[in-house]
Amino acid sequence: MSIRDGVAGVRERIAAACARSGRSVAGVTLIAVTKVFPASYVEEAIAAGVTDIGENRVQEARDKRPEVTGTARWHLIGHLQSNKAKDAVRLFDVIQTVDSFALAEKIARAAEGEGKRQEVLLQVNVGDEPQKSGIDTRDVEALAKRMAGQPSLHLRGLMAIPPVGTPDESRPYFQKLRSLRDALGLEHLSMGMSEDFEAAIEEGATLVRVGRAIFGSRN
């Protein structure tokens, strides 16, 4: 399967999920996750019409992005260590994994230094899993309010990775994230990966993070 075929197949599945849930395809952005894949794969994805690229690690994006000539929005979707906040602000259009006010402050200071208003999402630990990053669901509102006082941050929405399970087992967690997002009046819901992005769309996802279904398995 070529990358172009992978992108086309995922877009067909996105369109079908939107049709089932009475949504417009325009309301869902596909983020092609290029973790461990070379810059040439990113170029092919962009050539196939992908507008948004997701990377898990700041270092990998730092090495890869200068080799990519195509234009896309870059999203950090992996855990961000606070000592890499400055690099993350320089490299990424959107940082999806803010999970503390201390990290938000570091990003805000870095963005101010760059003369940039950094788009961010709050990562929520919807499954209360101790091994996962993300803020407790009970703390989302308070953190969002504190972040509103940072003029160099633009909080766009919420992001989550539900506990491992079937797409239908993920639905309650997607619904929980949507309720939290709706209560805050934010725009974006980043949820759903190769295994469950169709269920996520049916539950309101606006950003889906898909790697394997486009690029194949990571070796």
Joined tokens for residue 207: 């950003």
What is the predicted pLDDT for the residue at 217? 86
What is the predicted pLDDT for the residue at 218? 75
Instruction: Flag residues of the chain having pLDDT under 70.
Output: 219
Neighbouring residues of 37: CB distance < 8 A, sequence distance ≥ 6 = 211, 215, 218
Nearest to 55 by CA among 93, 27, 108: 93
What is the predicted pLDDT for the residue at 27? 98
Nearest to 122 by CA among 105, 144, 102, 106: 144
Using DSSP's 3-state secondary structure scheme, residue 138 falls into helix
Which structural domain, as residue segments, surrounds residue 133?
A: 3-214
Look at residue 104 and tell me if it is in a domain. yes
Positions of E strands within 77-213: 94-98, 118-123, 153-159, 188-190, 207-210
Neighbouring residues of 127: CB distance < 8 A, sequence distance ≥ 6 = 162, 163, 173
Q: How many domains does the chain have?
A: 1
Rounded to two decimals, the pTM is 0.97
Q: State the CATH number of the domain containing residue 47.
A: 3.20.20.10
CA geometry: angle 134, 118, 91, nearest 5 deg: 90
Look at residue 219 and tell me if it is in a domain. no
Look at residue 198 and tell me if it is in a domain. yes
Using DSSP's 3-state secondary structure scheme, residue 62 falls into helix
What is the predicted pLDDT for the residue at 132? 86
Q: What are phi and psi of 185, to 5 degrees?
A: 70, 30
Using DSSP's 3-state secondary structure scheme, residue 3 falls into helix
What is the predicted pLDDT for the residue at 112? 97
Joined tokens for residue 111: 């963005």
177 within 8 A of 219, measured Cβ to Cβ: no
85 within 8 A of 114, measured Cβ to Cβ: no
Please state, as a whole number, how many other Cβ atoms lie within 10 Å of the Cβ of residue 74. 21
